[in-house]
Each structure stands twice: as structure tokens, then as C-alpha cells.
Structure 1
Amino acid sequence: MLHCFVIDDSEIIRKYTRLIFENLGFRVSEADSPIAAMERLRSEAPDYILLDWRMPGSNSLELLGKIRALPLSVRPYIIYLVTENDPHEIQRALTHGADNFLLKPFNRQIVEMKLLEIQTAA
């Protein structure tokens, strides 16, 4: 079973994303902060990570680098969650280790299309 790890300070976004991915057959775990995320990643190796681009008191770009530096058994596919279609910010995320991005708000159909796009490109 594929594992999706959602890192977002918004409980609503985490629960909504969990619902979508669980209905798609994924195992889902969550973190509400970079500290909680790094702690979980010491014992988990998810297939996908959805990372919010803005969390209070943190720098998501730095977190991307920290995640990429971890000696995980599987290289997770990181999807950067953005609320604005800002090409500069998206490019910065891709440069810092994100594999793709997803614009909020999203729904199950958009997630399915993104996953299909990812699988087709692989």
C-alpha cells in the first residue's frame, strides 16, 4: 500500500487530504509542523509527501532540503502545496527538492489527475 505524508499547519487541509488519499487506497500520516514532520520521517519512509508552502514560524524551502538530506529507504515524491500560482515560488520549490506542485484548493479529481501525470512521467 502506498503511503502519503501530509505536512500542513491547517487541520482542515490535513483531514481533507487524508480523506482523498485514503479513498484512493493510500495509507496516510500527518504532521502539523516541520518539527513534527522531521520526527515522523525518522521512522517512516512515505512514497509521497504533500508539503504546505507556508507554515507559521517555518521555512518550507529549508524543510525540503532537510527532507532530501534524510537517509530514507525510499526517495519520496514531494508535492509542494501552494495557494497562489506564483511561477517564481514554484520554481524555487522545485530547485530546493520538490518534484511537483499542487494548487489549493484541490479536490479528488485534481489529485487523481496529478497522480496520473506523475505515473505517466515515470
Structure 2
Amino acid sequence: MSFEILEGQGRDCLVVDDSRVVRKAARRLLEGFGFAVREAEDGRKALEACRDTVPDLVLLDWNMPVMDGLAFLRAARAEIGERRPVVMLCTTENTQERILQALEAGAQEYVMKPFDAEILGGKLAQLGLLREAA
């Protein structure tokens, strides 16, 4: 299954994860879908990056030093707004309580690590950012 960015949709993504390996893997997948990718290793740097240019999509880890994903999400929603950027939490946190906490804080989607192109593409398609290629 392959995916492509919908015409007229944003192409800027910020990948936020304290693991360089995860950032690199996510970058490769997202660039394969046609996104321009920036990276940040913690929530504080991600918030600074969003202040410079608000991305269309944030792929966000939960557990990070300095500022975790949930703190970033709350700060970004308070400062930037509730609808933009689209935020997908990518984490190992898998309890229903944690998922609800993330969604209530303003995440639009949630994906478990590890993920692959099909899983990530499917989630992005659910968000209306990709479509299945013909």
C-alpha cells in the first residue's frame, strides 16, 4: 500500500523525539510521503520551532527530557491554537487513560511505536493528510 499527500494539503512536518534513531526513521517515512521534515529532540525545542514556523503536522513523542510531549502539546495549544498544527502522538504509552489524556490535551491522533509506513500512512490518511495512491 502506498500513500501520497492530498493536493492542497500542507507538507511541513516537525518530528519531535529524544531518540535520534526514531527521528531519522520517521523522517525517512515522512519524506517518502512527500513531507518536508524538521526535527526537535524535546518539547521545548519543538515549541521554539513552532514559534518560528507552525508546521502542518507534528509527530510527537511523549516521554522526553526538558519538556515532555504532553507539556509541549498543552503549551502549543494554548499559544498557537486548537486546530493547528495537527498533532499525532507516537509513543509506547498505550493505556486507555494515557490515550484519552493525550486526546483531551489536543492530539488529533495516536500511534504506537514501533510503526511502519503502512501504519503511519494509514493514520495520516485518517487525518486527511494523505490518500492511498492509485
Per the TM superposition, whether the score is higher than 0.5 is yes
SS in 1 for 2:31: helix
Could you tell me which residue of structure 2 aligns to residue 42 of structure 1? 51
With normalisation by structure 2, the TM-score equals 0.81
SS in 2 for 1:64: helix
With normalisation by structure 1, the TM-score equals 0.89
How far does the alpha carbon of each residue in 1:17-70 deviate from its partner, in whole angstroms, 9 at most, with x for none?
000000110000000012211111111111110110111243322211111122
Bigger relative contact order (CA 8 A; separation at least 6): 2
Q: Percent identity?
A: 38
| Structure 1: tracts of 5 or more residues without a match | none
Deviation at 1:85, TM superposition (A): 2.2
**Contact 2:15/2:60 (CA < 8 Å) preserved in 1?**
yes
| Matched ranges for 1:17-32 at <5 A | 17-32=26-41
Question: What amino acid maps onto 2:70 in structure 1?
Answer: L
| Matched ranges for 1:1-122 at <5 A | 2-71=11-80, 75-119=84-128
| Structure 2: tracts of 5 or more residues without a match | 1-9, 130-134
